[in-house]
Structure 1
Amino acid sequence: MRLIGHVLASIALIATVPADARETAPPRAAAPHNVILVVVDGLRGRIVDTKTAPELAKLRDSGSYFPNSHSLFPTFTTANASALATGHQLGDTGDFSNTIYTGSPVAAAAGSVTPFLENDTVLGEVDQQFRGDYLEETTVLAAARHAGYGTAAIGKLGPALIQDHLARSGDSTIVIDDSTGGPAGIPLSNAIQTSLRTFGLPVAAPSRGANGNTGSATTPGTTVANLAQQDFFIDAATKVVLPALKARGRPFAMVFWSRDPDGTQHNQGDSLNRLSPGINGPSTFRAIRNADNDLGRLRAALETLGLTATTDIIVTSDHGFSTISKQSATSSAATGRYADVPAGFLPPGFLALDLAASLHMPMFDPEAHNAPIPHGAHPSRGNALLGTDAAVPELVVAANGGSDLIYLPGHEQVLARSVVAALLDQDYVSGIFVDDTLGPIPGTLPLSSIGLKGRAATPTPAIVVNFRTQASDCATATNCMVEIADTTLQQGQGMHGSFGRGDTLNFTAAIGPDFKHSFIDPAPVSNADLGQTMMRLLKLSVAPRGHLLGRVLEEAISNRPIPVYRRHRRASAPAANGLRTVLQYQTTGTLRYYDTAGFAGRTLGLPSVALPSAQRKATR
């Protein structure tokens, strides 16, 4: 690993876009180079070396490397997919987490108002609920498609389609994901189907097989990487899609979204109910190598096709990753007994259960047709509607993992303060962010301080709750973070979504004709910056609706100097119990990059405490 110097130079350039119309300008006379974005889902920012991922290490060391990289908080997949797709922060895209509150039932999500967005049919229906475009920002692939370029999105269900979620016919952008070939998938053109068959490839994506085994509280999850499905994706990309894009004779933009190591880390069966080895067992490293091999195959195909000299490759991860903890000394939900939860562990939906108990509100399960949640049970997926009438809830919890979203449809300030007071009593909470319109509440910071207050079309959460994170035993703390997670997965499996630096620190590097070689950029970068940089590389101009844009990484693609960047710390007023939400972030010009946030001693990256010895032991 090369040493990273801190270089201070001139002021950052902020990406500018015309404001006359939301249309794509015609391509300039000199055709741009092709751009491929490779997203290695769930790859931790400091896990790459020549042993774990030799292809990634080779690209990092030969091209431009961005070690000061940032996932957007909440650090979830569809949220960061929206940032990569549009170059905007989440306050503009409205994709606040994998599970959001839509305000209206989504038929494709069994009528739930808290749909999980990693589903092509759900995304289509959510688009229709919000004036035909739930993001309301033009994506890179859509802009490229409108300019006449070739476009394709291949890989993980949900984030692949988000890259051009309005192109659902199959005749323009090529979309290949888990649902391809099935009734819920985006159709493939006859030409692509014929080409797949020519190479002996199926026209329907294979399932994850054993890799999709989540396990249970008594049965370990998967111990194999996502080999069969990803072999299909990379075969389709290299043998069919890239040759088809080359044959068009125009520039192209392609996104390849690797499900590994994310899917394997979530489901891994190496550490059932134990924090060690957690996500650092053998299954994870097989998954990292699986994604790494795919990158190698992609680069080899570009060389064979004669496209290396004309193609830029950007590699990133949507977020980092952590090991799940399900332990709390304050939660009443953890004292209950549930058939599918080990005694003493937090159940799925613990946040909703604890709030219902504190606020004396009935609970309903949006994934079970709003059925009441009886005493001694937990919400099936963690989401819950609180109040006397499920059709008009007073409070909605969208459970996501390392952080949860709370919506107050009535926007009641008194209720918001009661919710915050209840949250401040729980040892698993580490940082609370509240909608600016609800006014200042001691112990909390406003949503605007972390880029969550913008021009979103979807409902904006009233409260975002970050859960506790801390390091276990390893040399690089961000490689072995442990987090409380509101999930149906088990202690010892993997999750993300928190404001700990292990989740916000992702991996970013790039190589190609437009990027500097053997260049280390110490300035902060984010996934929103990559969307804007792709627009610049493709010579596209899009007028934004919102104003929470990333920047173009000029210092890596031109002779511009490394921008000046500064580090900042902001703390809320103290709550009655003395807790303050603390935010650590960096700036280049007016842009913010969010490092970590929470309560002191409860978030990795803030002043920390050692992991209690009781949590280091194998717990069954």
Structure 2
Amino acid sequence: MRRALTSCLIGLGLLAASGARAEPRNVVLFIADGLRYGMVNAANAPTMDRLMKSGVRFTNTHSLFPTFTMPNATAMATGHMLGDTGQYGNTIYTAFPVPGAGESLTPFLENDPVLGDVDEHFAGNYLNEETILRAAHAKGMSTASIGKLGPSLVFDHTARSGQDTILIDDSTGRAGGIPLSDALKTRLAAVGLPVQAPTRGANGPAGNAETPGTLSANIDQQAYFADVATKAVLPLFKERKNPFVLVFWSRDPDGTQHNQGDSLGRLVPGINGPTSLAAIRNADTNLATLLAALKDQGLAETTDVILTSDHGFSTISKESATSFSATQSYKGVPSHQLPPGFVAIDIAHALGLTLFDPDAKGAKLGADSFPSRANGLIGTDPAKPDVVVAANGGSDLVYIPNGDRALAQRVVEALSKQDYVSGLFVSAALGAIPGTLPLAAIALDGSALTPMPALVVNFRSFSTGCADPTTCGVEVSDTVLQQGQGMHGSFSRADTRNVMGAMGPSFRAGLESPVPASNADLGKTIARILDLTIPAKGTLVGRVLTEAMANGATPKAETHVLRSQPDATGLTTILRYQTVGETRYFDTAGYPGRTLGLIDDAHPVATEAH
């Protein structure tokens, strides 16, 4: 009898440590897009600061590289890294003309119809993995994803009827948007909310080289999303009496930091001006609204609230002393600055091939023209390009559709000569190339269905000299935005260091956790909290954040450095990363002296050579 009782107690202890329980939990995942770790304090974001002080503040945080919205959304939604999801950037090469993107081969995926087209082409689920909202709904839970166009839909992108998961974004009530159920329309009407989401209004204009961008945060649109969540969706979920999962994706501060007009042409204040600070406060206000509603509706005691940002943020630089493109003149581009599409222009020039615009029906570009969205098709036939550049901002994806190794070597040689490059990662299928590291080293080589890039190009980054360099980072960016506005996507620690915190019955109280954590871990942790069993096709996965959970174990972490063989000029790509068991966390990478936060110690903790 004593042995049986002991075994039972041990079993209960293991269940508690693993997060399993009989009592159901709800989860609210709040994403403050583009929020920098160092900007969360009692002055800038009091609600977020209080949440992490009362619950868990993760201090060793990681966005997945490339540090863009859609890649990190897929990591949160599936628990898989990008080599499995195939979401290598916000813009990727699909190898087929995408109808919703004007038949472009390089679609921007923050778009509901485009995501539908890409899903249809890739066997109905381009991510090739099941999402936590799809699994939760299948288990009978109530599910909703509300907020920014693109990443909100990713959490249940294959269910587009509006009858399963509630999906509300910028396109709600408009052509191409996911429909609303009649029941939700009735509830919106009852609380005086329209069925069409507001536009960004004054927050939308990005300006140009002569005209500053917005001076307004995204107040009205996000207030609508918060009202929908708190006045319609949460009451509906409470009435159903089922566990629920609610994703709230705040476009701010990201959208405002991109478009802000506080610093046109200047690196200071860059993304630290008054408009960007207002955007941080706007996201904080939205979170406060959600927390108050959970309390008022009697849901707080059974709801875990997880706070994250998809990536950090930096100020845009358009300076280069080596780029051919910067020596040319283009309409709307300041003299001697890099134009949008400078990577595509420089590669085409180095190869002596023609450049075409994939976002303008494959139009041939002359010497005085740049690609309309910075993407490029290079070769003799835009329908069968030799090289494709998917421009994303702080890093670019380069594809070589025919797998030509000699061509890949020439592209690497051309890029490594540019002062705006800081590190190159190359597909193993193209062979080992000195000065580069393999895509597998950064978890970009996995089970993905979408075409894998031949190269990923990281751009140079630095700081303007503030006390916390990750809050005043600058990066060269391949974008239509202007110098002085905002961008992300690089391997700078200003971009890879995101915000992560949690509060609720499943989590510890008053904990600052130094164990490395990433957005891929959130998908696995939420699945554990909700007791979801989700089959995996790929093996590049995050882990459950047991150190943050009540009665959970605290794992050990290790630090590593990976160096490429030097190229003919001595350039070496260096990657600094951490591990917890088999899970990898990428800190910084690039060429020494060209990536913010990249330390090239003489005696690292652990050193590997490639």
The interval holding the TM-score normalised by the smaller chain is: over 0.9
Which residue of 345, 370, 376 corresponds with 2:368? 376
Matched residue, 1:560: 552
* Alignment map for 1:108-507 (pairs within 5 Å): 108-507=100-499
Letter in 1 for 2:446: G
Please give the per-residue CA displacement for 1:98-149, whole angstroms capped at 9, x wherever unaligned.
0000000001000001000000000000000101100010000000011010
Distance 2:98 2:439 in 1: 26
- Secondary structure of the equivalent of 2:76? helix
How far off its partner does 1:436 sit?
1.1
Distance 2:371 2:435 in 1: 28
Gaps of 5+ in 1: 1-12, 14-26, 609-620
Distance 2:513 2:347 in 1: 44
Q: What TM-score results when the alignment is normalised by the length of structure 1?
A: 0.93
Distance 1:572 1:328 in 2: 25
Distance 1:223 1:295 in 2: 22
Q: What TM-score results when the alignment is normalised by the length of structure 2?
A: 0.95
CA contact (8 A) 1:435 1:462 kept: yes
Aligned residues: 583
Distance 2:373 2:233 in 1: 37
Q: Which moved more, 1:551-560 or 1:483-492?
A: 551-560
- Secondary structure of the equivalent of 1:567? strand
How far off its partner does 1:32 sit?
2.4
CA contact (8 A) 2:20 2:529 kept: no
CA contact (8 A) 1:403 1:464 kept: yes
How far off its partner does 1:31 sit?
4.3
* Alignment map for 1:31-110 (pairs within 5 Å): 31-110=23-102
Distance 1:265 1:28 in 2: 40
Distance 1:573 1:322 in 2: 29
Please give the per-residue CA displacement for 1:160-208, whole angstroms capped at 9, x wherever unaligned.
0001001110111000100000111100011111111111111000000
How far off its partner does 1:29 sit?
8.2
Q: 2:502 aligned with 1:510, yes or no? A: yes
Distance 1:344 1:268 in 2: 23
How far off its partner does 1:46 sit?
1.3
Letter in 1 for 2:550: S
Distance 1:147 1:561 in 2: 28
Letter in 1 for 2:225: F
Distance 1:247 1:71 in 2: 36
How far off its partner does 1:438 sit?
1.1
Letter in 2 for 1:305: Q
CA contact (8 A) 1:100 1:398 kept: yes
- Secondary structure of the equivalent of 1:488? coil
How far off its partner does 1:59 sit?
0.3
How far off its partner does 1:465 sit?
0.2
- Secondary structure of the equivalent of 1:583? strand
- Secondary structure of the equivalent of 1:117? coil
Distance 2:310 2:304 in 1: 19
CA contact (8 A) 1:31 1:251 kept: no
Letter in 1 for 2:576: Q
- Secondary structure of the equivalent of 2:586? strand
Gaps of 5+ in 2: 1-13, 601-610
Please give the per-residue CA displacement for 1:364-386, whole angstroms capped at 9, x wherever unaligned.
10000001011111011110100
Distance 2:66 2:229 in 1: 30
Distance 2:235 2:213 in 1: 38
Distance 1:204 1:410 in 2: 45
Distance 2:226 2:402 in 1: 47
CA contact (8 A) 1:40 1:316 kept: yes
Please give the per-residue CA displacement for 1:198-253, whole angstroms capped at 9, x wherever unaligned.
11111000000010011000000000000010010000000001111111111001
Distance 1:568 1:118 in 2: 34
Letter in 2 for 1:333: S
How far off its partner does 1:607 sit?
3.8
Distance 2:60 2:398 in 1: 30
How far off its partner does 1:440 sit?
0.8
Letter in 2 for 1:167: A
How far off its partner does 1:558 sit?
3.3
How far off its partner does 1:28 sit?
8.6
How far off its partner does 1:321 sit?
0.2
Distance 2:578 2:103 in 1: 41
Distance 1:234 1:472 in 2: 35
CA contact (8 A) 1:335 1:344 kept: yes
Distance 1:79 1:592 in 2: 16
CA contact (8 A) 1:272 1:490 kept: yes
How far off its partner does 1:560 sit?
3.1
Identity of aligned residues (%): 58
